Chains A and B, each alone.
Chain A
């Protein structure tokens, strides 16, 4: 058969694409459950990072998570718990949630080894090259930050990507969400600058200005809807 005839080329291309398509679809289906597990486990690991817990091994992630994270809630905009079914908070996809008209407000309740209770709230925002996200753990008095975890999709390694570094994240420990009784989310500022509204702040990443500003905006955007909830924690109406 003439290799350069139109018919041969069309059939060749069609058959090739069919074979490749089938193989790829098969591989995708075969690996999908494993990948979903990885994604879920990665999320568990990130949430635990906010309360400074690192699972001992990759196999222990799920059991460690279930041990420390005792409950997950969804809140309404008045800070009332509207749904406390199992996994309801865990299954919220922040990427879509952040764009929704009425955001779901997931909260994870953690009981640590020293019997103290922490509440973890997720955050999601924009960095320089792509999305950034994080989890912020707050003490049960509703104002002290216990820990923070941030990650990103593709910030510049060594610059913006440093927000995923514990050195950056540890700065958040002990910062306060309330100043003189007023709710003021923490901002990320260049070394030497002072906060406009007198809120607590942490040092930005050198050379990662846009990513740092992104973290700052994300905190403002994602913590503010939780204000009624934090208020309730402060007044002690939620145990």
Chain B
């Protein structure tokens, strides 16, 4: 069940092989959905679900898929799953689906999905593919949450929509940094996280 290889498939994407920090995949959505914590978390969960299930489906089909149309097959599977997630959210978590509106649909274009399907699911059995999907999804979600934490705190002075910066700070001239809410600061925040991450993992540094 949890051989060394399977453990690696699950744990590596959390840090050493993180999809955002090391593989530099899925940056666009990281910039788009991290202005507030709540949508970031729902987005993370949705990506985990879509990635894990599509990894398993592609892994099950891997021996039958004609190589020439494999990308199309992957796209169809991912697109179908994304639509299902969107429909379910709209039926059972309507408020959240309103907040995420277009971003859920954009999971289809998330490079992490195609990347993992191509690199892992097509050549591995369903169980390791499932672990790889969960692991990469979690790795993505962790970064989303860290970035969203700083952006919401510094940009809006709230966490999960609750004000956390005390009023006397504002009275003494503190102001929320509107720039944090815009995508450029998300990119810079991600850059800072990558910097910290590399300085702690010497083997990731390029010579």
Chain A positions near chain B (C-beta within 8 angstroms): 3-4, 8-9, 12-13, 16-17, 20, 23-24, 27-28, 31, 34-35, 38-39, 41-42, 153-154, 156-159, 206-207
Contact = CB atoms under 8 A, between A and B. Distances in A.
A16 to B, nearest CB: 6
Chain A to chain B: the 9 pairs with minimum beta-carbon distance, closest first: A158-B181, A38-B94, A157-B35, A34-B91, A31-B91, A20-B80, A9-B66, A3-B66, A35-B90
Contacts of A157: 35-36, 181
Contacts of B76: 16-17, 20
A159 B181 contact: yes
Nearest to B102: A154
A13 B61 CA distance: 13
Given A3-B66, A27-B87, A154 B35 contact: no
Contacts of A24: 80, 83-84
B68 A207 contact: no
B154 to A, nearest CB: 11
B156 interface: yes
Given A24-B83, A158-B155, 16 more contacts: A8-B66, A12-B65, A12-B66, A12-B69, A17-B76, A20-B76, A20-B77, A24-B84, A27-B87, A31-B91, A38-B94, A41-B94, A42-B94, A158-B36, A158-B178, A159-B178
B92 A34 contact: yes
A31 B102 CA distance: 19
5 contacts: A3-B66, A9-B66, A13-B69, A158-B178, A207-B178
B64 interface: yes
A4 B92 CA distance: 43
Contact of A31 (B72, B90, B98): B90
Contact of A4 (B36, B67, B87, B178): B67
Contacts of A31: 87-88, 90-91
Interface string B191-204: 00000000000000
Contacts of B94: 35, 38-39, 41-42
Nearest to B39: A157
A157 B39 CA distance: 11
A9 B91 contact: no
Nearest to B87: A31
B156 to A, nearest CB: 6
Contact of B68 (A4, A17, A39, A156): A4
Contacts of B182: 156
Contacts of B98: 42
A9 B92 CA distance: 38
Contacts of A154: 101-102
A4 B66 contact: yes
Contacts of B178: 158-159, 206-207
B73 interface: yes
B87 A9 contact: no
A3 B67 contact: yes
B70 to A, nearest CB: 10
A24 B88 CA distance: 11
A23 B80 contact: yes
Contacts of A16: 73, 76
A206 B175 CA distance: 13
Contacts of A39: 94
Contacts of A35: 87, 90-91, 94
Contacts of B64: 3, 12
A156 B91 contact: no
Contacts of A12: 64-66, 69, 73
Nearest to A23: B80
